[in-house]
Each structure stands twice: as C-alpha cells, then as structure tokens.
Amino acid sequence: MMTSQQPYRCRTALALQGGGSHGAYAWGVLDALLAAGEVFDAVCGVSSGAILGTMAVQGFVRGGADGARAAMAQFWDRVVATNVLAPLTSHLDRWLPGFEVGREFGSNLAMQGIATVLSMFGHASINPLGQNPLRPILTDLLDRAALADPSAPRLFIAATAVESGLSRIFTNQDITVDALLASACLPTLFPTVLIDGIAYWDGAYSGNPPLGPLLALDPERLVLIRAQSRLRAGVPSQPADILNRVQELAFQTAIDAECALLPPTLTFIEYPADRALAGLSPESRAYADRAFLDRLFEEGRAAFRARAA
C-alpha cells in the first residue's frame, strides 16, 4: 500500500493485450505464472486483457494466487456458458431470411461486412438494440470492493476517447462495468460507451496496452503477454485478409514503439502469441467453444513452461 511516507514498490508489472477469444492464450500464460509462485504488483490491460487483469487482481485480493486463477477461469467459463455473441447473431436470421449464421460470421471483420450490407437496407448497425452480451457477465463478476482494497495490486485499464483519440486510464477505484465495456468496445459490434459524457471505444486503438502507467511505478520487471499476432507469414491478397493484417499491424504499432524505448535497467519479458495463433482465421477472435479456448489456454501455459525451462 502506498502512503506519503512509503512509496509504492513495484517489482513485477504485467501488460496484457486484448484480442477477443485469443485472450485465452494470455490467460494460460498468466495462470501458469501464478501457479509457479510468481507474483505481480501492477497490471495494465485493454479489451479482453483489461477483463483478464481485473479478474486476476480481485481474485488475488480474495485468495492469493489460487484466487486469481479461479477468478480468471470463472470469467472464461461464463463466456463459454453464455455464448456471448449469440444475442448479436440471432438478429440476422430475422433481417436476412434464409441466411445461416455460423461461427464464421463471428469475427469483427465479418461483422463489419454484414453491417455494411445491412446499412444499405436502412439498418445502422449489426446490433441495433444496443446490446452488449458482456454486461451481465461483468455485472455478476466484478468485485469493486476487492479492487479498492489497500492490498490490491495496482490496476490500470485503458479505453480510447472517440473524439480526441486519447487513451483514458481507469484505476482500481474507477473501474466499473462501463469502464470494462469501454475498454473492450469494438464499435462495429458493440454500442459506444459513454462515461462522464465522453464516448469511448476499445483501448487497443490508442495503446495495446499503454505502458506509461506501469513505467511510472518504476518496476524492476515488465512482463508483456501478447494476444495478437505480430508476425504472420505470407502476403494477404483477399480484402478480408488484408483488412485483418492491417488491423493487426495497427494494434501493435504503439506498443512496439514503447517497447523500443524501455530503459536498459528494466528486465523485460515477452510472451509472443504468434505460434499459438498461427493459422487461425480472424473469425476465431469470437469463438467461444470450450475446446478452442482450452487449446489456447494450454498454448499459453506451454509458452510459460518453455521460457522457464
């Protein structure tokens, strides 16, 4: 706990990227890290990384490393049980009779294409009812009292202000369901989140995640867990594949620039997701089936073990 006499000492800081269901890879890395007895003093995350970090912090307060692992698992269990994209895709059968919606239409890019078609027929959004299926899950799971506990690791989650393009950082006491929804708001899928009269979209648009809040604590060690591909073999030629690669590159630019300027005295550890995500389609960011998430989870655990060996 930080007081005016005793500055906050940060040994290990975690930076968690967002990537929809690909965040299960980051979950696996963090689960293995905690199971090995590692501890963390601060976390910064965006999108699914923000939710993952929030669950880990509040779980840690309630039950240490085991509590953090249980809280993260509980969130992903709820994602599987509720199939969070079902409320969005269920409208398509009504709007486009005879149109079968399969898993391949779960991605942000596919949804963007469908939204374009719908707009031609007067539908402004793929989600005209303004539903966010994450809201009930986060309402049930968020423990604001635990986040505000003096023993809680420092938590920072970021969202992007739509009009200014600036990143807003929410800290332990500020983190609400709306703040988490803002950090994970892909605007073609979910309604824009208003907080204090300001509109917010996904935090990855301005930093994936921003490292400034963590570096301000002068950590001894920084651990970056990626959940998006940085390297991808081959040159895409199809429009959807091109757009996906453009998005991947854009989401890595800010974090790569920050990593290039890290102080040499800082121990930097990175868990890339390239191998785990190789061959996966853009649509897989929205897969919510148990086998898929468990596979990425185990890939994350394996990545930790390989580095520790």
Q: What is the pTM of this model?
A: 0.85
CB atoms within 10 A of CB 99: 12
Write the DSSP assignment of 49-65 as a string of letters: HHHHHHHHHHHHHHHHH
Q: Which residues contact 94 (CB under 8 A, 6 or more apart)?
A: none
Residue boundaries of the structural domains of the chain: 12-97+109-308
Structure tokens at 309: 């060996």
256 is catalytic: no
Distance CA 265, CA 281 (A): 38
Q: 12-97+109-308 has which fold?
A: Cytosolic phospholipase A2 catalytic domain (3.40.1090)
Confidence band of 151 (pLDDT split at 50, 70, 90)? very high
218 is catalytic: no
Q: Which residues contact 52 (CB under 8 A, 6 or more apart)?
A: 16, 23, 26, 27, 30, 45, 72, 75
Catalytic residue among 47, 107, 125, 284: 47
Catalytic residue among 202, 206, 229, 284: 202
- pLDDT value for 86: 53
Average pLDDT, integer, range 200-226: 95
Average pLDDT, integer, range 19-47: 96
pLDDT by residue (tens digit) across 116-130?
Answer: 434 333 444 445 456
Contact (CB, 8 A) for 58 and 153: no
pLDDT by residue (tens digit) across 263-283?
Answer: 999 999 999 999 999 888 777
